[in-house]
Structure 1
Amino acid sequence: MEFKYDVIVIGAGHAGCEAATAAARLGSKTCLITMDMNKIAQMSCNPAIGGIAKGQIVREIDALGGEMGLITDRTAIQFRMLNRSKGPAMWSPRAQCDRNKYIWEWREVLDSTDNLDIWQDSVKDLIIKDGQVIGVNTLWEATFYAKSIIITAGTFLNGLMHVGKTQLPGGRMAEPASYYLTESINSYGIRFDRMKTGTPVRIDSRSVHFEDMEPQEGDDDFHKFSFMDTGKRHLDALPCWTCYTTPESHETLRKGLVDSPLYNGQIKSIGPRYCPSVETKIVNFPTKEKHQLFLEPEGVITNEMYLNGFSSSLPMDIQLKALRQIPAFRDVHVYRPGYAIEYDFFDPTQLTHTLESKVIKNLFFAGQVNGTTGYEEAAGQGLIAGINAHINCHGGKEFILGRDEAYIGVLIDDLVTKGVDEPYRMFTSRAEYRILLRMDDADMRLTPKAWDLGLASRERYNLYSSKKEQIDRILEFANNYSVKPAYINEALEKLGTTSLKHGCKLIEVLTRPQITFENIQDSIPAFKEELDKIKGRREEIIEAAEILVKYSGYIEREKLIAEKTKRLENIKIRGKFDYSQIHSLSFEAREKLQKIDPENIAQASRIPGVSPSDINVLLVLVRK
């Protein structure tokens, strides 16, 4: 049986779902192929969205017209803004979600998206003609032809799970692995390797002694993920809980290391540094007597809970014994043990910034198959791949986000420029322009781009326009309104800041750290009157305007630095040089530049091993 589409997406995880909806909404006839239609957008690990830097990615996905933020808001059972003690560039939203409701919300979105079909099957090989992918064959002997194909197979490619010495094939617990596809892709010259990740034990809440734990409540304010008007939170809020491992549990874990796949040579692939297993923690920090654990609910009507911080692939009896040496879990019952999983990924330096393969035309990769970890990183890649796959079918300018435009831009540039030597996870420290990439202004940065693409709805664009107009009006008022000492000094003194000796513009007062829009407005009736004109989303708009006031100097400085870098991005060099023959470059630079074939001088400068003197050589050659 044969089918024809514009875009085919292989895998219905977080990357695949965003890719398929984006391509379909832009007008491409799209088919999403998945092994299990009941596990669409499954949260394989913790049912949580966001976190440090990851939350910014979700806000960007939403600003671009993606679905992750909207579905998270509809299924959240706890919301928190992390890093509030730091500056706004570091603020990161995070939500605990109801795992099952999240899946079915995504299923509803997919089922109601025009131009989008779903097919339940497993892809076994690609159909290649003249260096271009033109289709795929499935295990059920169906053939799908398409102009663009996106691979978002997650951890399923030759997936192998480990619990102690026991090894079972699978992409997730109780779900089969995907075979043959890696070998098909590799046969056309695309390099692959193996990675490892892990997930903790799942606990029955009825067996937990919560009196021995500390509750961790969520926030109850206006913050959320989507910039759309999603109203109040839909589900009842639930607390998370914290406790600590004990020296006794450490000793049990230590004795079990001989049977740990991580330490007995059973697992040879690359694992994450930033989300280590509990056995890795006790090996790397042998003098530490306790490690914090977070017990997090999986939904509003389930007893299943997720023990964050206790990722492990040790034998089941060792995991259970160590858990029962922690007071809160002394009588614990578990649903299933923690396990490690190994899977195939493809070297992302073989991709362009559109996420299209440099080796096989019309073939795109997104998500964990590119060596990343995390739902958010996967979804961000999926959205960009879906947009560019559509453009690849119908024409238009490729869609690429710069490092100064989005965390998604940083993520993709890091992958295609530097590659990965461990599962890639986004952090704020990876973004050199993080003051420009705040979570509060993702809509200001990206919604106009989504509107130009045709991905943002009229409602979304109108909300963006209204917010921008109101922020601009507040800033214009603050820059032009004069404040007299006689009217404001008493209020300034009460707020613990120096009184005025002469009049000044309101903007100068608002930049003081002790002053906020809310605590000064009653002392300046005209300013209060201006704030009262805000139509809807008052807190969101005031927060965004206040950040622009207080951090304007830092924001302008980063913009200037970004503009200087962009000049180098305008110097295109892909395909212009045979780097192996440029002997004035260092040997390492020749090797790296030949492998990556960077798009421009700016990208070349970010390749590890390419020095400033190598860049100067390239600039001289470009001028010639």
Structure 2
Amino acid sequence: MLNTYDILVVGGGHAGSEAAIASSKMGSKTLLITSNLQTIGQMSCNPAIGGIAKGQIIREIDALGGYSGIISDCSTIQFRMLNKSKGPAMWSPRAQCDRKLFSYYWRFFLEKNITLDLYQDTVTSLIIEKCIVKGVITLFGLKIKSKIVILTNGTFLNGKIHIGEKKINGGRIAEQESKGITEQLTKYFGLKYGRMKTGTSPRVDGRSLDYKKMIVQNGDKNPKKFSFFYNSKKLKKQRKCYITYTNHKVHDLIYENINFSPIFKGSSPRYCPSIEEKIFRFSNKKEHPIFVEPEGWNTVEVYINGFSTSFPEELQYKSLKEISGFEKVKILRPGYAIEYDYFPPEQLKHTLESKIIENLFFAGQINGTTGYEEAAAQGLIAGINAHLKNEKKDPFILKRNEAYIGVLIDDLITKGIKEPYRMFTSRAEYRMLLRQDNADERLTYMGYNIGLISEEKMKMVDNKISKIEKCIFFFKKTNFDPKIINPILIYKNSPIISHDKKIETILSRSEIDIKDISNISFIKKKIEKNNFSQEILEQVSIRIKYKGYIDREKENAKKLIKLENLKIPNNFNYKNIKSLSLEAREKLDYYRPISLSQASRISGVSPSDLSILLIYMGR
């Protein structure tokens, strides 16, 4: 092992793995150091990737050259496209994964990089000189020098596990916490930190469950994949998941014993609440869904999604037994709450580098987020920017109209957080542009330009775009004869036509699906001749049906770009502008926005404050 690295990544979770693979692929000599090499890419909570808005993030990571989508495809045991009954902006891919395979493939792909080293030890402090990071010191006293350090400590910084009244030091069940980094950064360098809580559900023995009493949840008949490029095996068989529900007996037990829940006494995540908090927050509900999800292909272990808890083991057991299908349940591992240190992300630049300590980057739950997908996205961006800074190149920053990842990071930096941050489609004002199906079109060129995407993959996207445009052109210039299309329109309860109409016009009707017309003889011949895949036809349909929405968001995005281009100097003195409101002066001085657009998204900065800023910037 070398004494000096270009980039050193602390932590081998989803953020750390993406950061390490990105920086090493781009050419930086990288070291990934973690407390346990056997748990790289561990799915600490739910064994699933994707979901609403999160699936979009995974596809964006793949389009940029990251690996979370590839790893998911290699380990998928069930795939579903969520929200298909809604518009395409809401469609979100989700994969149930084999937990062991997921971790195995992360290790496999990391080890394929000759510019990446792995090392097992725990980092306890950083080597910092004149507010510039120079390396790390480990638990065993090893000093490792590095030009840049990326912290992706997850829930391990002073982690404390809660099960009822039991308190155990640890970053994950049966894994030791990490001490020293928080104390050093706060005491000697003035960084602010806080404590957050999250929780996980019990794992049970699937052989002890009665699935006949539950609702079967099958995967899609024609399952898709996350990765646009990686040729993983087609998913020919899938494992079933199941749904059951809580009831008044479960609720009564929780009400009567709520004082035994440490996570309820604190504050559990709003968007991933414990079962205790759900019962109290939604007291009018008679039942809550419980998702029964297998942990892999060849295991009896089952994850109980929707039953995150920190109750004592005996109460967990009693509560579960009251759920239909769980009457004879056997618990393999209890659920628990975990409390850990995080650093408020407004202390970072959009590159995820610290504003206070140069060459120190933060990514993942250390920034106050929750979820594998949010962590992986930050890790990728931190890894990219760490390499670019090391090479003295311009930073890589995604805008809000370019990617969900851009929304995620901008929200963290600009708005800060008061609770664990989770991505939703509602957080993105340009979600019609940021669909899961077009992430490759949006981002692959960017990935190519920074060195994470090969020329071969870029040509695949060029070919896809070319076929979409060719198909749309055909639909725009070709007419339907009423005799051909009217029988279909009648069947679909759509108004018939009396004279020729463009295919585009008919397809733009909400009740007409592209499948309804793709088997018409002359259209079918065109599709087969040009090898238009189902993916191409789906893209064409979306662009035609939602053209008005897409065009409107593009116009709004242009306005945003104008504000993004109005840069605010780093040394801009807000305190001297007395015409700004007091709150605006304080907030602007604290967040130090880099553009007028970012300033506009800071809570407490009004339109009149922005007008005043414009005047002073003009001066």
1:293 aligns with 2:294: no
- What is the TM-score of this pair, normalised by structure 1? 0.97
Residue matched to 1:578: 573
- Give 1:183 deviation, angstroms: 1.2
Q: In the alignment, does 2:527 pair up with 1:531?
A: yes
Contact 1:574 1:597 in 2 (8 A): no
Residue pairs, 1:218-617, within 5 angstroms? 218-234=219-235, 236-264=237-265, 267=266, 270-523=267-520, 525-535=521-531, 538-617=533-612
Per the TM alignment, residue 255 of structure 1 is displaced from its structure 2 partner at its CA by 1.7
Displacement, 1:485?
A: 3.2
TM-fit CA distance, 1:104? 0.3
Corresponding residue number in structure 1 for 2:66: 66
Q: Give the letter for the 2:163 counterpart.
A: V
The Cα offsets for residues 305-357 of structure 1, whole Å up to 9 and x where unpaired, read as 01111111111111111111223111111012110000000010011111111
1:450-501 Cα distance to aligned partner (Å, 9 max, x none): 1111101233222212111111111111122233434433443333322223
Moved more, 126-135 or 342-351: 126-135
Aligned mates of 1:277, 1:416 — CA distance in 2: 27
After TM superposition, give the deviation of residue 530 of structure 1 in Å. 2.1
Report deviation, 1:206. Answer: 1.0
Q: Deviations over 1:197-229 (max 9, x none)?
A: 000111111111112111111112152211125
How many Å separate the matches in 2 of 1:262 and 1:198? 8
Superposed CA offset, 1:235-291 (max 9, x none): 741111111112112111122112221345xx4xx5310111111112222332221
Per the alignment, residue 621 of structure 1 pairs with 616
> Partners in 2 of 1:239 and 1:65 — Cα distance?
31
Deviation of 1:621 after TM superposition, in Å, equals: 1.0
Q: Judging changes above 3 Å, is the alpha-carbon distance between structure 1 residues 197 and 593 closer, same or farther for their aligned structure 2 residues?
A: same
- The one-character-per-residue Cα deviations of 1:95-124 (angstroms, maximum 9, x if unpaired) are 100000100011100111120000101111
> Once the 2 structures are TM-superposed, how far is the Cα of residue 402 of structure 1 from its aligned partner?
0.4
State whether residues 125 and 138 of structure 1, in contact with CA within 8 Å, keep that contact through their aligned partners in structure 2.
Answer: yes
Output the CA distance in 2 between the equivalents of 1:368 and 1:239.
31
Counterpart CA distance in 1 for 2:247 and 2:519 is 53
Contact 1:76 1:235 in 2 (8 A): no
User: For the residues of structure 2 that align with 1:225 and 1:242, how far apart are their CA atoms?
Assistant: 24
The residue identity in structure 2 corresponding to 1:316 is: E
Range moving further from structure 2, 454-463 or 73-82: 454-463
* 8 A Cα contact 1:253 1:319, kept in partner: no
Q: Does the Cα contact within 8 Å between 2:268 and 2:277 map onto a contact in 1? A: no
User: RMSD of the alignment, in Å?
Assistant: 1.5
| TM-score with structure 2 setting the length | 0.97
- Ranges in structure 2 where 5+ consecutive residues have no aligned partner: none
In structure 2, the residue matched to 1:33 is 33
Letter in 2 for 1:553: G
Counterpart CA distance in 1 for 2:531 and 2:500 is 31
Identical counterparts, % of pairs: 51
Q: How many residues align?
A: 618
User: What is the CA-CA distance between 1:519 and the residue it aligns to?
Assistant: 1.6
Deviation at 1:576, TM superposition (A): 4.1
Contact 1:2–1:143 (8 Å) recurs in 2: no
Distance 2:220 2:423 in 1: 24
Distance 1:291 1:529, change over 3 A: same
Q: 1:587 and 1:229 mapped to 2: Cα distance?
A: 53
Q: Given that residues 245 and 324 in structure 2 are in contact (C-alpha distance below 8 angstroms), is that contact kept between their aligned partners in structure 1?
A: no
Give the secondary-structure state (helix, strand or coil) at the position aligned to 2:307: strand
Paired amino acid for 2:523: F
- What residue identity is the alignment partner of 1:393? N
CA separation of 1:61 and 1:487: change in aligned 2, threshold 3 A: same
Kindly provide the CA deviation profile for residues 496-517 of structure 1, in whole angstroms up to 9, marking residues without a partner as x.
3222233333211221123233
Structure 1 residue 408 displacement after superposition: 0.2
Return the alpha-carbon distance in structure 1 between the equivalents of residues 223 and 422 of structure 2.
28
SS of the residue corresponding to residue 179 of structure 2 reads coil
User: What letter is aligned with 1:573?
Assistant: I
- In structure 1, list runs of 5 or more residues that go unmatched: none
| 2:12 and 2:34 in contact (8 A); partners too | yes
Closer, same or farther: CA 540–199 of 1 in aligned 2, 3 Å = same
How far residue 539 of structure 1 moved from its aligned partner, in angstroms, is 1.3
The alignment partner of 1:547 has SS state of helix
Higher alpha-carbon deviation: 450-459 or 364-373: 450-459
Residue identity in the other structure for 2:42: Q
Distance 2:93 2:491 in 1: 33
Contact 1:77/1:235 (8 A) holds in 2: no
361-370 or 276-285: bigger deviation = 276-285
User: Could you tell me how far 1:546 is from its partner in structure 2?
Assistant: 1.2
Give the conservation status (yes or no) of the 8 Å contact 1:75–1:235: no
Superimposed CA distance per residue, residues 519-565 of structure 1 (whole angstroms, 9 cap, x where no aligned partner):
21333x443222113447x1111111111111111101100001011
Residue 616 of structure 1 aligns to a residue whose secondary structure is helix
Residue 6 of structure 1 is matched in structure 2 by 6
Counterparts of residues 163-182 of structure 1 (less than 5 Å): 163-182=163-182
Distance in structure 1 (CA, Å) of the matches to 2:244 and 2:378 = 35
Distance 1:128 1:10 in 2: 15
User: What CA distance in whole angstroms lies between the structure 2 residues aligned with 1:333 and 1:522?
Assistant: 52
Asked whether the 8 Å contact 1:75–1:234 carries over to 2, the reply is no
- Matched residue of 2:292: which SS? strand
Residue in structure 2 matched with residue 161 of structure 1 by the alignment: 161
Residues in 2 aligned to 1:450 and 1:73: alpha-carbon distance in whole angstroms = 20
Aligned residue identity for 1:340: A
Note closer, same or farther for the CA distance 1:359–1:112 as it changes in structure 2 (3 Å cut).
same
SS of the counterpart of 2:519? helix
Deviation, structure 1 residue 59: 0.5
| Matching residue's letter, 1:201 | P
Contact 1:33 1:120 (C-alpha < 8 Å) held by counterparts: yes
Supply the distance in 2 between the matched residues of 1:344 and 1:543 (Cα, whole angstroms): 44
Q: State how far apart, in whole Å, the 1-side matches of 2:422 and 2:387 are.
A: 27
- Kept in 1: contact 2:268–2:274 (CA 8 A): no
Q: C-alpha distance in 2, partners of 1:15/1:229?
A: 21
Q: Distance in 2 between matches of 1:353 and 1:180?
A: 26
- Segment of structure 1 superposing worse, 138-147 or 68-77: 138-147
Tell me how far apart the structure 1 counterparts of residues 264 and 201 of structure 2 sit (CA, whole Å): 18
Equivalent residue letter for 1:196: K
**Structure 1 pair 244/471, CA: closer, same or farther in 2 (3 Å)?**
same
